[in-house]
């Protein structure tokens, strides 16, 4: 378990060569936001869903974890497609890398999610480790 950002980057970098390390990075990143890993230690296609956060009575946020330096607006578009396909309420893009301005604009274009009794929140949220 990484204790600082450098250790997190190191684990992610090792994951580029060995998928087991990347899977460990992914689980660690999900734990930072209390998300449940999608595959619960099972390897295989994740269909764009690395984790889930359940809230309210029936609401769900899908989490997509990215560790690389080459994040881009297409990844936000992909996440938007996943939340629409899965009929999720919110998408969370969790990354080691700061988002670009086009990524922020694309996330904002997804609109807001409203839950009775709460203020609206962005439908796609970008969170940096």
- pLDDT tens-place string over residues 104-113: 999 999 999 9
Per the structure, the complete domain to which residue 116 belongs is given by: 38-128
Structural domain includes residue 2? no
**One pLDDT digit (tens) per residue for the chain, 129 residues:** 888 888 888 888 887 787 777 888 999 999 999 999 986 555 555 678 999 999 988 899 999 999 877 899 999 999 999 999 999 999 999 999 999 999 999 999 999 999 888 899 999 999 998
Query: Would you state the pLDDT for residue 13?
Result: 85
Comparing C-alpha atoms, which of 94, 87, 93 is closest to residue 108?
A: 93
Structural domain includes residue 43? yes
Structural domain includes residue 85? yes
Total structural domains within the chain? 1
Structural domain includes residue 101? yes
Structural domain includes residue 65? yes
């Amino acid at each position: 378990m990484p204790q600082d950002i450098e250790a997190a980057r190191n684990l992610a970098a090792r994951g580029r060569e060995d998928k087991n390390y990347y899977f460990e990075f992914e689980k660690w990143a999900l734990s930072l936001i209390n998300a449940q890993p999608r595959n619960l230690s099972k390897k295989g296609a994740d269909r764009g869903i690395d984790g889930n956060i359940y809230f309210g009575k029936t609401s769900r946020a899908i989490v997509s974890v990215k560790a690389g330096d080459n994040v881009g607006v297409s990844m936000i578009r992909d996440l938007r497609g996943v939340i629409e396909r899965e009929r999720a309420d919110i998408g969370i893009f969790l990354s080691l890398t700061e988002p670009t301005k086009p990524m922020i604009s694309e996330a904002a274009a997804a609109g807001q999610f409203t839950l009775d009794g709460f203020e609206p929140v962005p439908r796609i949220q970008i969170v940096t480790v």
